[in-house]
Amino acid sequence: MLEVKHIRAHQEEYTQALKKRNFEAEAVFDSILKLDEKRRSTQKQLDEILSESNKLSKEIGMLFKSGEKEKANALKEKTAGLKEDSRRLGESMSQVGTELQALLYQVPNIPHPSVPAGKSEEDNEEIFKEGDIPVLAENALPHWELAKKYDIIDFELGNKITGAGFPVYKGKGARLQRALISYFLDKNVEAGYNEVQVPLLVNEASGYGTGQLPDKEGQMYHVGNDDLYLIPTAEVPITNIYRDDLLTESQLPIQLTGYTPCFRREAGSYGAHVRGLNRLHQFDKVELVNLVKPEESYRVLDDMVEHVKSILRDLKLPYRVLRLCGGDLGFTSALTYDFELFSTAQDRWLEISSVSNFETFQANRLKIRYKDAGKNKALVHTLNGSSLALPRVLAGILENYQTEDGIVIPEVLKPYTGFDKIS
């Protein structure tokens, strides 16, 4: 979330910037600043009362010591009144703090100046495209038909076991899935990322920390008896590793990668565009997370974009990079690049990765700070990206690498799969 001191200093600038997101901030900013003024005024009164109470306590001790019990008891009555005042002010502080927090949670991140204005994905800006789109035979099949033909993914069996959106990978399909996970992790570790394995369930504080709550509560699976959430992305548990931590400058940058299954309700998703692997309730993803000094975050963002490009070059899949417009930008992000690969059999682009810089938006919620060489404390910048989300990558491989006598395995994956073709 935004820091109140920055809202106060840049109210008009932030109000105009948030119009790129089609978010009218003027009224909510006014309410935030009024509540903050009340909070600071109440805190000042509380500090004065506590100071006076401490002073009187010392004086009472001295009076008792000198035998002046009557004066001491009179002052004790006064401290009782001060105690009641401090209790009342403390309750007021708590109430104001809760109201202020609720308002701050409503405000999305300030978009980077390079973010284009726009209302939907139609207004996203294509900034890069690479790779040759293969020419397939006239009888080329979409991946859900290929999966059935070669018995490598069973959507109906998943529906039987759980429900729609929970496929069962079989035989060479399961091995190809495992190969992609291992390859992605190895590629990330080679680039300097430290691999971690994290829980698949998180508590409410973790969800609020990275911004999935309260913004995306409807998309998350909730385990009511334990008040835990199944993760929608590994970003949540990985970034929360450092929640409430004060880091040293020498610890930065922190570069983490991890594989997890991800769970999303995707309520209301239907139609041909969500067939097969295009949209699932459970899917595998390998994630990148960076914690860096503020002045380094946009260089790191560029590095992450180039890293994801290198993966897609290795897989020899046609892809493009989009800069998301304000209307399509995620709630917590300041700047996001989406990667899409071209599915030749479906004749459409499929999103396979988002790489984002959150600046201090997540770190302020998470209270992740670092101490620089001058002993000054500052919030880190957090970034994350998929490298990659597996379902649509797998769909792209099946469709773009299909031949009349089987599906050829990309060269870079053959050491991981142990076979050259699905046939």
Bind-site residues for L-serine = 233, 264, 287, 384
Annotated binding-site positions for ATP = 264-266, 351-354
**Cβ(124)–Cβ(325) under 8 Å?**
yes
Annotated binding-site positions = 233, 264-266, 287, 351-354, 384
From CA 235, how far away is CA 385, in angstroms rounded? Answer: 8
From CA 89, how far away is CA 44, in angstroms rounded? Answer: 10
From CA 337, how far away is CA 116, in angstroms rounded? Answer: 12
From CA 264, how far away is CA 247, in angstroms rounded? Answer: 32
HEC per residue, the chain: CCCHHHHHHCHHHHHHHHHHHCCCCHHHHHHHHHHHHHHHHHHHHHHHHHHHHHHHHHHHHHHHHCCCHHHHHHHHHHHHHHHHHHHHHHHHHHHHHHHHHHHHCCCCCCCCCCCCCCCCHHHCEEEEEECCCCCCCCCCCCHHHHHHHCCCEEHHHHHHHCCCCCCEECHHHHHHHHHHHHHHHHHHHHCCCEECCCCCEEEHHHHHHHCCCCCCHHHCCEECCCCEEECCCCHHHHHHCCCCCEEEHHHCCEEEEEEEEEECCCCCCCCHHHCCCCCCCEEEEEEEEEEECHHHHHHHHHHHHHHHHHHHHHHCCCEEEEECCCCCCCCCCCEEEEEEEEECCCCEEEEEEEEEEEECHHHHHHCCEEECCCCCEEECEEEEEEEEEHHHHHHHHHHHCEECCEEECCHHHHHHHCCCEEC
For residue 22, is it left (φ>0), alpha (ψ between -120 and 50) or beta? left
From CA 212, how far away is CA 234, in angstroms rounded? Answer: 12
